[in-house]
Structure 1
Amino acid sequence: MTKRFAKRLALVATMMTLVTPALSAQQDEAPPPSKPGKPINAGDVLSGELNTMRVRDVKNGKKVATYQITSEPRRLPAPSGLCNLETGPETFQLVTSSDAQAAQLKSFVGKEISVKVDEVTCASDPGQMSEAVITKWSLVKKQ
């Protein structure tokens, strides 16, 4: 029994000598300072990959498609600013105001799109899945 214990102790000691330098090297490396994203204002174009999620509607409980653009971090106009994030929001929920807008987005899921932003705010409702919400927008055709 003593031999087994000695072997295990030697194994643990060897592992610790291998792991400890790697851990201390990781702790010494400071992450690069994060800079706030460039600002986005009404009339600007936001580009990114379009994703969709199925969420339950708060009003009637039906599952509805929610569209989201994942982009580089962006700052929103005051008073929203950085949405309580260091670099600004990276995910933007597109609110569809009609079935035509939803159908328009459905064909672009998983692809890179661009939208002209008319109205954007930080997410505030519990049902919102993104960091920021674009309530008024229009799709920009690529040329």
Structure 2
Amino acid sequence: MTKCFAKRLALLATMAMMVTPAMSAQQDDGAPPPSKPGKPINAGEVLSGALNAMKVRDVKNGKRVPMYQITSEPRRLPAPNGLCNLETGPETFQLVTSSDAQATQLKSFVGKEISVKVDEIACASDPGQMSEAVITKWSLIRKQ
């Protein structure tokens, strides 16, 4: 009987330790207020940030293909997209590659800071997109 009691007590103690941090995190009143919307980005402007790569399944043929994403400060998109239904504007931007040459070019910069000149940008609309905004036409800017 004491073995059962000891097991139950150990289980309860473990559960209490797991729940306590979650509860204290929810009660944190020192959270910063929501930030202001990001500055606008229009066609022809430069977007800079860290380049990430992910593998996603292509909806057409089911193959795994690379997808590239820039993580940047929040930016507002031009009308009619605006803030992409976000409070501050999108922070993740998917770079759509139109050729194997563009994909190869990006591959060497994964994990590094890059800058791209944005020619066409819109809010993400397809359910499979991993970013908040999509840049369909862009060119890489070389740092000097």
Q: TM-score, normalised by structure 1?
A: 0.81
Supply the distance in 1 between the matched residues of 2:126 and 2:29 (Cα, whole angstroms): 39
The aligned residue for residue 53 of structure 1 is 54
Paired AA for residue 138 in structure 2 = W
**How many aligned positions are there?**
127
User: Separation in 2 of the partners of 1:69 and 1:63?
Assistant: 20
Structure 1 match to 2:39:
38
RMSD over aligned CA atoms reads 2.3
Q: Indicate the residue corresponding to 2:69 in structure 1.
A: 68
Confirm or deny that 1:102 pairs with 2:107.
no
Max radius of gyration: which structure?
1
3-state DSSP of counterpart to 1:50: strand
1:27 and 1:99 mapped to 2: Cα distance? 48
Distance in 1 separating the partners of 2:135 and 2:118: 7
Does 2:132 match 1:131?
Answer: yes
4+ residue segments displaced more than 4 Å: none
**SS of the counterpart of 1:92?**
strand
Q: Structure 2: where are the runs of 5+ without partners?
A: 1-19
Gapped runs of 5+ residues in structure 1?
A: 1-18
TM-score normalised by L of structure 2: 0.80
1:54-112 CA-partner distances (Å, limit 9, x unpaired)? 00000000000000000000000000000000000000000000000000000000000
Q: 1:32 to 1:115 in 2, by over 3 A?
A: same
Q: Percent of aligned positions with the same letter in both sequences?
A: 86
